[in-house]
Amino acid sequence: MRPGTMRDPIVVQGTLDRDGRLLAADPALLTLNAAAGGEIGMPLAIAPIAAVARLAQRLGVPVTRQVTVADPEADLILSVRAEPTVDQLRLVTTGWQERPGAIPATAEAVPVAGADDLAWETDGGLHLTFVAHDGAARYGVDPQALLGQPLTAMFALDADRDGAMPILDAVARRRWDGVQPARLRQGDVAMLLSATIRRDAAGGMAGLIGVARPVITAPTAARPSLTPGFTRGLDRALRSPLAKIIAHADTIHAQAEGPIQADYADYASDIANAGRHLLGLVDDLVDLAAVERPDFALTTEPIDMADVARRAAGLLSVKAANADVAIARPLAEASVPALGDFRRALQILVNLIGNAVRYSPPGGVVTVTAARVGTMAEAVVADQGKGIAGDDQARIFEKFERVDPSEPGGNGLGLYIARRLARAMGGDLTVASEPGEGATFTLTLPA
């Protein structure tokens, strides 16, 4: 009898050494490992559980994940907690449940990796749960370092020739159509991603099973833009359900309906934050479609750059306080007349100050100033963070580019959109920085 078919909760445990070899396990885990071709003294053969173990070992902290394990009779869903100690790692699995059809039933539905391809898998939140070791070695990728990271930590995504992004369509509509243009961040290799959706028992998206194929001849045309129709559809499809997810997750985290386990409250907070990140991405994609239209233009009017800077700093004051970062803003009596779109200028400065707060160390200060320089009005945002290397300073203004994709927050669109908006108002957005000495961003508009 399987653990999940019993009435009483069952805990199945195991122990691994630091190299991932199975030292001991309860019978149910031994049976499952043997079915996958493993045995005592050999590396754990159950790939999803081994991935959780490697992640906990790499981070040095306990990690809990729900995983799906393929089995000849039926797929198994179980919760895995991996707890690293000084020289071993303890596995605790609970909630074993059988579920048919968690992985697509036909082999034809799953992309088949060729000799030069890189196979990968994600969970429902597009975090990597598997990276094929042979393909990873071919391209110099460290699969263990990527496990648990978002898919964009391995690939920089781009729109296809029709302005669509199949991976976003997969999230919004639970289907995958076409191929997703991307670049492998390791070595900047152009690739095309194809995938099929792994579905849960309710038909929802439980993850992706994908293959990355190298592009033999790199295209010479400029990167295509997102179409307004696509972003409008994405906006309608995602905004309402994301708002509900965020609201419910915040309610669970606040324990408004009664006390719950601390772990579950933390999970709810993670869900809410991920929902806000996706909602921000939707907003950015809508803006992206707007700024890349050939007829995009902004109506400028007299604004006060110092006033806009003060307002933007005020909007970020709570975030800064929570991060133990101070914001120095223009004095109340300061005034710097400029020509621009008030809402868009505010959007740019909120983005710049938000980034500065994110990358500032605790106890740091973000300085926001405004002044007239010649025929231009300037707003300057300076932080005390780790700075930006010279080779990265042009790249951060490109679409979907981030200096360190593994860092939380951001999606690689904010600075690209901000510069396009600044130039649409007759100004510009620039950066000056040295590694270890912080970064200074300057928004200029006509005075």
Q: How long a stretch of residues is the chain?
A: 447
Q: What would the two tokens of residue 338 be? A: 């400029």
Would you tell me how many other CB atoms lie within 10 Å of the CB of residue 1?
7
Residues in Cβ contact with 432 at an 8 Å cutoff, skipping those fewer than 6 apart? 439, 440, 442
pLDDT score for 107 = 34
Question: Which stretches in the chain have pLDDT values below 50?
Answer: 1, 4-9, 101-108, 217-224
pLDDT score for 433 = 86
pLDDT score for 236 = 59
Domain boundaries, the chain: 3-99, 107-214, 228-291, 301-446
Cα 197 from Cα 131, distance rounded (Å) = 16
Domain 3-99 identical in fold to domain 107-214: yes
pLDDT score for 389 = 83
71 vs 31, 68, 103, 326, CA distance in Å?
A: 11, 9, 10, 54
Q: φ, ψ for residue 59 (rounded to 5)?
A: -80, -25
- What are the DSSP E strand ranges found in 318-438? 326-328, 337-340, 365-373, 376-382, 428-433
pLDDT score for 16 = 93
DSSP per-residue letters across 169-203: HHHHHS---S-EEEEETTTTEEEEEEEEEEE-TTS
Q: Closest Cα to residue 170, out of 196, 202, 152, 201?
A: 196
Cα 147 from Cα 54, distance rounded (Å) = 8
Q: φ, ψ for residue 332 (rounded to 5)?
A: -60, -35
Q: What would the two tokens of residue 244 be? A: 């509900």
312 vs 145, 257, 320, 384, 391, CA distance in Å?
A: 37, 35, 12, 19, 29
pLDDT score for 225 = 52
What is the three-class DSSP state of 78? strand
Q: φ, ψ for residue 292 (rounded to 5)?
A: -95, 0
Cα 427 from Cα 446, distance rounded (Å) = 6
> How is domain 3-99 classified at the architecture level of CATH?
2-Layer Sandwich (3.30)
Question: Model's pTM, two decimal places?
Answer: 0.45
pLDDT score for 7 = 34
Tell the CATH superfamily of the 107-214 domain: PAS domain (3.30.450.20)
pLDDT score for 238 = 63
Question: 301-446 maps to which CATH number?
Answer: 3.30.565.10
